[in-house]
A and B are shown apart, each in its own frame.
Chain A
Amino acid sequence: MIKQLKKAFVWYYMLNKRLIKKIGFLLILATIPLLTFSFTNFVDTEETGILRIALVAEDAEDESAKEIIADCESSTAFAFEAMDSVEDARIAVENGSVDAAWIFSTDFDGKVESIVDGGDESLVTVYAVDDGIFFRASREKIFSVFLPKISYAMYVSHTSDMLPEEATVSEEELNEYYLKYGDEEKIIDFAFLDSEQAPVEDVNFLTSTVRGLLAAVMLLCGLASTMYFISDEKKGTYSWLTSKKRLTVLLSSNFAALFMAGVFVAVSLYLSHNFTSLLRETVALLLFALCASAFCAILGAIFGSVGRLSLVLPTMLLASLVLCPVFFNINIAKPIQVLLPPYLYLYAVNDIKMVKWMVLYAVCATAVAYILYCVVRNKEVPSLSKKRG
């Protein structure tokens, strides 16, 4: 057993030798967990939000507006920032330090009363530079911020109208009744299809991108391994091997490089609070390494030289970052998206059903690599063993 382990380790070292010897490469891998850890710490300890919104009371003395501003709690979607004057808020929107500003108008309570009496009043002025989907969603938030005021005023008005004239009910009593129901728990539960997923309040969109970025880095490691293989092959290092055996070496060295990167990735995921469970992460990363090994071998067979491959890499990286759900979830070219291993991996981590597709992908991609390598490349790269044969 120990002998076999030793043999496996020697093989692993042999396959990874080129990469392990590169201090720069190891440094890049080692800094990844450090960077993700520091970044996660920043994000966890400081306020972040998709939109930064400035809050200002037009009349600095208006208690009602001040109370609403104080009650606005930042979330992962909207980060609120109280400001002192309308002018400051306007300038902040103009210079881009905030995305929007909400200006709560003067005599807020008076205007709410007027609305309840059927008046047409504007309670908030919004300064924005855009009207995209997030800005529209933020405006729903404005309404929910001042709705309690309107709702309460409506309840008081209608209840007073309902009661007979002789009934005397105090404001405190009405308030007491109203507050009794204020602590109701939320009527809509938020759930992921996957029960192991963290509650959405715990998921920060900034740290959750870490997984996608790490997948792209892993793919790069696989491609680097393929380039080293091609470079060695051109030098004649593998001349004594048949094409079939060369493909085995290529796939194994790609897998070995991806496995090494996978270990650093797993540590980074743990440090960035993106780690789900040991079994799930291990299975997903191993399958990703298999798929990516075959994918890189296919690219190696198609482009055939380090130079050509290096020219394709930027496009490949960009496609991995944009077409796979790393930053955005774009569904435009599904047939192309599913060909990218990070796409399958990012879904498989969250949806166990995708695992079978990864297995299928790994098998098919290996078959394609075999055909390309043994049929197409066989003619291009001379083999000593073939000559001998």
Chain B
Amino acid sequence: MSKFIRYLNAQLKRTVKVYPVILIFTCLITACVMVLLSVLLSQNNSKEADTKISVGLVGDTSESYLDIGISVIKEFDSTKYYIELIEMEQDEAEKRLLSGELMGYIVVPEDFVESIVSGENKHLTYYTDNSPATFGPTIMNEIVNIISDLLIEAQSGIYSMIDVGEKYEVDDETVDDAVNELNLEYISTVLGREGYYDVQFIGIGNGLGFTDYYFYAFFTLLLMLWGMTCIHLRIRTDMSLPRLLKSRGVGATSQVICDYIPYFIIMYLSAVVLALLCAKFGKGMGLAFTETVTGAGDYFMLAVRLVPAVAVISAMQFLLYEMSTNIISGVLLQLVTTVGLAYASGFFYPLSYFPKSVRTVAEYLPTRAVFNYASTAFLGKNSDALMLFIFFVAFIVLSVAVRTYRMRGDRV
């Protein structure tokens, strides 16, 4: 037992020695992630004027009806809260689209309104950013389709009315008056569309709002990234010392436990500091848990509840380090695993965006289990830590197995 304590003590001392460097990189990574998180959250908050979707409008917008229509959309329509229409020349629109200032631009052909009135229906063209892999084109395609549908419905009503009027020999003046009335009613219906539905923001149960979701996702991601700052501490290129220790009575299990404890402490300290800072100063970010974690007792309980989450992630990374025989392969393994697990666990895109089979698999990933646990633990609710416990034991047992294997002289 004394050998166990002495080895643990030696590992703790070794950790304390390199901790300043680890702390610097931990702070650097945390700062980067926090900046990215705040940018992401501000992009979602469309109430902010600068987060509107900007759409260019080019071509012939001089027709009086179109001009009025554009002004009405800009001033009175509910889309003004998240879409900004900017009139400009095509060259400028293309340039601004490529530079990312615009989400897209609409080209209005000459005499567009006239063509709609006559039934010729010239087409508007919405050019979108050809940037890769973003939601912009998907959402804008949906909005463009919706607008198209609205126009077609209105046209169907008006043209049909004119046809019926013609068939029943209604005089032109009466038809014109009826068309104008129907047109105005369509416009008033479209502008007042928000009155046709009630929106209720229901209290968050296990479901998370955008802000909370990404907070817990990035918190779990941070746990994984922090682990990489300990690479010098954890990568073992030479197995002479473990073999020597074994010969002196400190077996693979004891070694793994002694190596794991300092690693866990480092991770846990970072996690607690970040969680408490967010609890204290995160109210402005709109995080739900800041409402429930207020007093010293709550802070203490939050720190306690973080133990299983940190233990699982650190045990998982510990296993990856055990499997690596040099720094380069260790870094690569950690990074590839982090990105892969983060993506599949829904840390970049919410898991609800994925197909059902991926969502099902994700629920059995350790990172997703930690995310689920954290999202309830932060709120002070009772969280089921059984799955985390199973993962923790599995990772530690596997680490012991890998250490034993490597001590025999073979390399993984």
Binding site for B on A (CB under 8 A): 22, 24-25, 28, 35, 39, 42-43, 45-52, 75-78, 90-91, 93-99, 102, 115, 120-134, 136-137, 139-144, 146-148, 150-152, 154-155, 158-159, 161-164, 167, 169, 173-174, 177-178, 180-182, 184-194, 197, 200-201, 203, 205-206, 208-209, 211-213, 216-217, 220, 224, 227-228, 231, 306-307, 310-311, 313-315, 317-319, 321-323, 325-332, 334, 346-347, 349-351, 353
Cross-chain contact A115 with B207 (CB below 8 angstroms): no
Contact, CB under 8 Å: B125 / A315: no
Beyond contacts A94-B203, A193-B130: 10 other A-B pairs, Cβ-Cβ < 8 A, are A48-B355, A142-B196, A142-B197, A164-B170, A181-B156, A186-B123, A200-B137, A205-B133, A307-B232, A346-B133
Q: Please tell me if the beta carbons of B123 and A158 are within 8 angstroms of each other in the complex.
A: no
Question: 16 A-B Cβ contacts within 8 A?
Answer: A98-B352, A131-B199, A133-B51, A137-B139, A140-B146, A146-B196, A161-B178, A190-B145, A191-B127, A193-B94, A311-B25, A317-B335, A317-B339, A328-B135, A330-B40, A331-B101
Question: Is B147 close to A, CB under 8 A?
Answer: yes
Q: For the complex formed, measure the closest distance between the CB of B49 and the CB atoms of chain A, giving whole angstroms.
A: 13
Residues of B contacting A133 with CB < 8 Å? 44, 46, 51, 53, 82, 139
Q: Which residues of B contact A (CB under 8 A)?
A: 21, 25, 28-29, 32-33, 36, 39-40, 43-47, 51, 53, 79, 81-82, 94, 97-101, 106, 116, 121, 123-161, 163-165, 168, 170, 174-175, 178, 181-182, 185-186, 189-190, 193-210, 225, 228-229, 231-232, 327-333, 335-336, 338-340, 343, 348-349, 352-358
Point out the residues of chain B lying under 8 angstroms from A45, CB to CB: 355
Scoring A76, A140, A206, A313 by chain B CB atoms within 10 A of each residue's CB, the highest score goes to A140
A90-B156 Cα distance, complex, nearest whole Å: 36
Q: Is the CB of B138 within 8 A of A350?
A: no
User: How distant is the Cα of A209 from the Cα of B339 in the complex, in angstroms?
Assistant: 13
Residues of chain B within 8 A of A162, CB atoms compared: 161, 164-165, 170, 174-175, 178
- With most chain A CB atoms within 10 A of its CB, the pick from B156, B174, B190 is B156
Q: Are A211 and B232 in contact (CB under 8 A)?
A: no
Q: CA A268 – CA B81 in complex, angstroms?
A: 40
Closest partner residue, chain B, to A324 (CB atom): B132
- Checking A134, A174, A321 against B160 with a beta-carbon cut-off of 8 angstroms, the contacting residue is A174
Contacts of A330 in B (CB 8 A): 39-40, 43
Contact A155–B353 (Cβ < 8 Å): no
Tell me, in angstroms, the Cα distance from A197 to B36 when the chains sit together: 29
Decide: A96 and B125 in contact? CB cutoff 8 A.
Answer: no
In the bound complex, how far is the Cα of B40 from the Cα of A334, in angstroms?
16
Q: Shortest Cβ distance from B159 into chain A, in angstroms? A: 5
User: Chain A CB within 10 Å — which of B25, B132, B138, B148 has the most?
Assistant: B132
Are the C-beta atoms of B200 and A126 separated by less than 8 Å? Answer: yes
By beta carbon, the residue of chain B nearest A154 is B185
Q: Which among A24, A311, A329 is the interface contact of B329 at CB below 8 angstroms?
A: A24
B143–A327 contact, CB under 8 A?
A: no
Pairwise interchain contact B139-A77, C-beta atoms closer than 8 A: yes
Query: B153's closest neighbor in chain A, by CB?
Result: A151
Contact indicator B358/A42 (Cβ below 8 Å): yes
Give Cα A44 to B154, complex, Å.
35
Q: How far apart sit A178 and B356, CA to CA, in the bound complex (Å)? A: 40
With A77-B142, A141-B142, A188-B148: A155-B135 Cβ-Cβ less than 8 Å:
no
> Least Cβ distance of B90 to chain A in Å?
11
Which residue on chain A has the smallest CB distance to residue B28?
A315
Whose C-beta in chain B lies nearest to the C-beta of A150? B189
Interchain CA distance A152-B160 in the complex, whole Å: 10
Q: Are A28 and B332 in contact (CB under 8 A)?
A: yes
* Residues of chain A lying within 8 A (CB to CB) of residue B145: 144, 186, 188, 190
Q: Considering residues B94, B145, B197, which has the most beta carbons from chain A within 10 angstroms of its beta carbon?
A: B197
Contact between B141 and A126, CB atoms less than 8 A apart: no
Contact across chains for A129 and B339 when beta carbons are under 8 A apart: no
Closest to B40 in A: A328
Chain A residues near B186: list those with CB within 8 A: 151, 154
- Cross-chain contact B136 with A329 (CB below 8 angstroms): yes
In chain A, what residue has the closest Cβ to B152? A184
Contact A94 B25 (CB under 8 A): no
Query: Chain A contacts of B53 at CB under 8 A?
Result: 133
Of chain B, the residue at the smallest CB distance from A24 is: B329
Contacting pair B168 A167 (CB below 8 A): yes
- Of A91, A93, A220, A315, which one neighbours B332 at CB under 8 angstroms? A220
Q: Which residue of B lies closest to A354 (CB)?
A: B98
| Chain A residue contacts of B143, Cβ below 8 A | 137, 140
**A127 vs B204: C-alpha distance when bound (angstroms):** 11
Smallest distance from the beta carbon of A165 to chain B beta carbons, Å?
11
